[in-house]
Structure 1
């Protein structure tokens, strides 16, 4: 197996420059020349740092999150409430956010960096952070079965593998978007469902949307599926 090659070129707008090369191989959650996890615009394809979804919300034991881990787990409303407190949080001029910093400093980030052959978790600096936001919510609420990832496709695959992936919008569900269709393999972006409006739209809270955490109303035709955490 050849060692991965990272060409962390200057970001163009809010994304890694097209043509950056990331060769990844191996087990579940790894990818090669995969599209980045985008925000609320039609995505251009670019390389993205992928991470395995194997660890769930309790895998790093909550120690690095600054929040006490709850053995009882969390409710959907716990996650939605925390997500609302982050609305308006922006990335900086380099495209980095507090969620990138958290992921880089977490044991989860270090573990996944090791899995992809990176020298350190700093490889996640400045990368698309919508899924890091979702992972942060899970870790900071002690949610069981949230999954924790930096790459939307492998996160969705993990939910499917664990039998908790479906097509019904529920409050607190992890919603995976595929702007151009294609099911799980076409997933570009991720957020949290706040409400099903029962009119073909859902209310969501999403990170890395226009470079910030925002509340959105999405058409369900853009949804590839939903991941269901083990809420109490």
Structure 2
């Protein structure tokens, strides 16, 4: 049986997305450092284990799981690390830690999963409007927004490399969504979109977007620029 992998599922979009997919009858592997919120759902269509995308040993655990569990219909790279700190105060370690999750983790997991996907499979990476060249930028997000720009180009490159065999690769550059991560980075800011509203959009695109799109960056934001 085919299943869908979602990363970053302890809260926000990833948590709501896992529930939506499972309630719609899809088998879901929900991966997050804190697996308790998903485990507490006790949903028959969801499997989970503690998983840090930047951990080599955790990625080996995922590799073992993949060998035993058949085909992957879609991979949704949703896990992310956000740092809001002035550039001159950001340590090398902090800057690298953002890239370990948002870029290197995405690349490593994608490499593991591709062999288990068919030509109609879909790798969907959740990025940010902050990674779009020419979009509004915010001080303090030098590590986060630049990492989100990197995975957009990465998506385009993989779509080109696998265009003859599949799977398809797309990315969604999201505007502000009301999540715990946003609240931590920008206390008091109110986003125009809820986590569940965005999760519904992401689910539909993950399941169907590859039929019409490949190597595309979709800007999912109601604000301009």
- What is the TM-score of this pair, normalised by structure 2? 0.27
Q: TM-score with structure 1 length normalisation? A: 0.26
Name the structure where helix makes up a greater proportion of residues. Answer: 2
